[in-house]
């Protein structure tokens, strides 16, 4: 008979539930080790049809590791699973595993596409660089703020100018120098590490054909192109280019019940970081780019009616659609013709 398995994964232990013929036949716990889980599943459920677990911090590792073990593993959206799991009287790991096994048996779930290791490696590079840049900004702002307390105003400037100005103002401040110079040295070190990751990111973008295509769009740089390409992975993951806008949370929410039917603000679901990058690229096209295109002309007209922010959001959605169409066709950005489906 067919076996259906639910896994409630945590950092240390994983609860396992096995169902067969509409009833639970076994459940237990083991260490969160894919090899150990695969061993148990092969022993207890030799005819496994679906092995289901929710999205979480270990999703990518678990999915690919269990796939390598030959298990029919499926990762499902935790938000959709929550509605079913909340029906249990008590919230326990064992009950959650039972609920996931039931979802696997009836097929009532939404499968999530798990990204490959290469994509996750590139996304980790972008995330690490972004974090280091934010740390440098936080440190510089902290230094400026502390110095203002003692009447020392650091002139505007970045990089070497900031470093030179701070050291000049602290030249006669012996006690204050002992406090702020370590922070300044940490700022310098973080800035160097961020620069190293930036160089590595640019090298990755240059090697990627998809990133080179996307960077032909004005306002789209290596960070946005890499983030988008690794998020999409294969253009065939989306049936139409228009679906990408909704997937990134750039389409309006809709509420309909009886006689009430209205559209609200954008859903803001999906990849928050990528959505922010597309918004920044849209602002560049709206306010700074000198390269004329049909996208820019359309967005500028929209800006006159609804304002800069709303126009930028709409343009970000169109950018997402356009970029997917470019990856799908393998063509560079055409400033005149727009892809179908916008």
Rg for the chain, CA atoms, rounded: 26
- For the chain, strand residue ranges (E) read 3-9, 13-20, 23-31, 48-54, 73-76, 252-257, 260-266
Listed ranges 33-47, 71-85, 324-338; the one with the highest mean pLDDT? 33-47
Q: Per residue in 273-310, pLDDT tens?
A: 999 999 999 999 999 988 888 999 999 999 999 999 99
Domain 3-106 falls in which CATH fold? Nucleotidyltransferase; domain 5 (3.30.420)
| Token duo for residue 202 | 């640019």
Nearest 5°: CA angle at 220, between 214 and 222? 75
Q: Per residue in 148-202, pLDDT tens?
A: 999 999 999 888 999 999 999 999 998 999 999 999 999 999 999 999 999 999 9
Question: What does pTM read for this prediction?
Answer: 0.86
Which pLDDT value is given to residue 338?
55
Edge-to-edge strands of the sheet including 73-76?
Answer: 23-31, 13-20, 3-9, 48-54, 73-76
Does 339 have pLDDT greater than 50? Answer: no
- Domain-by-domain residue ranges, the chain? 3-106, 117-207, 212-329
Q: Per residue in 127-148, pLDDT tens?
A: 999 999 999 999 999 999 999 9
């Amino acid at each position: 008979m067919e076996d259906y398995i639910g896994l409630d994964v945590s950092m240390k232990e994983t609860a396992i539930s096995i169902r067969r013929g509409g009833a639970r036949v076994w459940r237990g716990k083991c260490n969160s080790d894919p090899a150990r889980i695969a061993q148990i599943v092969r022993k207890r459920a030799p005819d496994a049809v679906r092995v289901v677990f929710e999205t979480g911090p270990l999703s990518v590792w678990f999915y690919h590791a269990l796939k390598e073990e030959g298990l029919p593993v499926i990762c499902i959206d935790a938000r959709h699973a929550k509605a079913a799991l909340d029906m249990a009287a008590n919230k326990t790991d064992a009950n959650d595993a039972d609920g996931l096994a039931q979802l696997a048996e009836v097929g009532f779930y939404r499968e999530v596409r798990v990204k490959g290791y290469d994509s996750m490696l590139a996304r980790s590079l972008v995330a690490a660089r972004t974090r280091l840049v934010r740390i440098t900004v936080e440190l510089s702002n902290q230094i400026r703020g502390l110095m203002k307390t003692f009447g020392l105003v650091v002139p505007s400037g970045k990089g070497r100018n900031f470093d030179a100005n701070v050291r000049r103002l602290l030249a006669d401040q012996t006690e204050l120098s002992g406090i702020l110079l370590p922070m300044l040295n940490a700022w310098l070190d973080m800035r160097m590490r961020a620069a190293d990751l930036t160089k590595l990111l640019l090298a990755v973008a240059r090697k990627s054909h998809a990133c080179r295509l996307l960077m032909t769009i004005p306002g789209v740089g290596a960070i946005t192109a890499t983030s988008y390409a690794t998020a999409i992975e294969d253009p065939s993951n989306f049936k139409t280019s228009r679906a990408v806008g909704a997937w990134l949370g750039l389409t309006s929410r809709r509420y309909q019940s009886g006689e009430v039917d209205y559209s609200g603000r954008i859903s803001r679901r999906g990849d928050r970081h990528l959505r922010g990058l597309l918004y920044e690229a849209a602002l560049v096209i709206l306010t700074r780019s000198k390269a004329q295109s049909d996208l820019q002309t359309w967005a500028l007209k929209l800006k006159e009616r609804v304002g800069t922010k709303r126009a930028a959001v709409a343009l970000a959605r169109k950018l997402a659609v356009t970029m997917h169409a470019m990856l799908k066709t393998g063509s560079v950005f055409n400033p005149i013709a727009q892809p179908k489906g916008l």
